[in-house]
């Protein structure tokens, strides 16, 4: 355990460890893949509870994932019913109604629970869809960081993420689109360059959305579970939106 903590404290070794674990999970057979994502949804729930200071989200998020495994519509219905139930609970307990309460539960369940089901659906279609999606999001993060650090001059969504630059955004988007297109051709996947541009564009906003949530609650990292890499939401935020985008293309 101490060795693991030391590895996670160094950004390079932590990144390698996270990457190898992610690649190993991708090729797990069903139901081990779903079980791994249930564990991830539980971690998302834990981190969202830390961010929002609403402890019940630890249970709501993984439950949303389980319901969405039955059917995506069942997951969405659960999200709204859970939110409504909690809103009524607060109303009876505190004597006031808060839209923030309702929206937080819906956001957490849809964002942390149901979105992971998109990865399950993609995995059922072809595990290489998940693999290439992971490669593309990694390329997006990596090139956005290095291009922004070395060439970035114009801020991009300063209030949400001050360190992001327009140059980094463009560099990451182009690199991710190239990586996604290249490996789609290599593995024979039916996703073209324009579709990858769409997927990777939404991936960027998945990252921004998580930053928006954290800033709304005055939090820097979703947790310290991954040491120098922050929390699980910090590492997989872009993948969540990108998975939903890619799944939508598979049924279009």
In order along its 252 residues, the chain shows pLDDT tens digits of 555 555 456 656 666 788 888 999 999 999 999 999 999 999 998 998 888 888 888 888 899 899 989 887 888 888 888 888 887 887 777 776 666 666 777 777 777 778 889 999 999 999 999 999 999 999 998 898 888 888 877 877 777 777 788 888 899 999 999 999 999 999 999 999 999 999 999 998 888 888 888 887 888 878 888 776 678 888 888 888 899 899 999 876
Distances (CA, A) of 105 to 57, 93, 180, 238: 7, 17, 33, 20
Distances (CA, A) of 64 to 29, 42, 70, 213: 22, 10, 10, 19
Predicted pLDDT at 91: 75
- Token look-up 């019940």 returns 56
SS3 221: coil
Predicted pLDDT at 5: 54
What is the DSSP track for 145-206?
HHHHHHH--SBSSTTT-TT-BHHHHHHHHHHHHHHHHHHHHHHT-S--HHHHHHHHHHHHHH
**Domain ranges, ordered by start, for the chain:** 1-28+126-252, 31-116
CA nearest neighbour of 26 among 37, 14, 39: 37
Predicted pLDDT at 12: 64
SS3 124: helix
In the chain the first and final C-alpha atoms are separated, in Å, by 46
């Amino acid at each position: 355990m101490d060795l693991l903590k030391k590895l996670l404290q160094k950004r390079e070794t932590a990144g390698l460890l996270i990457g190898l674990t992610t690649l190993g999970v991708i090729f797990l057979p069903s139901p081990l893949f779903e079980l791994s994502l249930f564990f991830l949804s539980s971690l998302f729930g834990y981190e969202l509870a830390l961010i929002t200071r609403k402890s019940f989200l630890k249970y709501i998020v993984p439950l949303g994932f389980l319901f969405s495994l039955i059917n995506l519509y069942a997951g969405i219905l659960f999200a709204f019913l859970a939110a409504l139930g909690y809103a009524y609970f607060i109303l009876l307990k505190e004597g006031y109604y808060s839209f923030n309460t309702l929206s937080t539960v819906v956001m957490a369940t849809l964002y942390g629970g149901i979105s992971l089901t998109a990865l399950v659906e993609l995995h059922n279609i072809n595990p290489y869809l998940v693999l290439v999606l992971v490669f593309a999001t990694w390329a997006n993060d990596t090139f956005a960081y290095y291009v922004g650090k070395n060439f970035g001059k114009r801020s991009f969504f300063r209030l949400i993420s001050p360190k992001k630059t327009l140059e980094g955004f463009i560099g990451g988007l182009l690199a991710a689109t190239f990586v996604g297109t290249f490996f789609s051709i290599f593995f024979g996947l039916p996703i073209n360059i324009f579709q990858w541009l769409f997927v990777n564009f939404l991936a960027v906003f998945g990252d921004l959305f998580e930053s928006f949530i954290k800033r709304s609650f005055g939090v820097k990292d979703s947790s310290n579970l991954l040491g120098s890499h922050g929390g699980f939401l910090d590492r997989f935020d872009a993948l969540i939106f990108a998975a939903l985008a890619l799944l939508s293309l598979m049924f279009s």
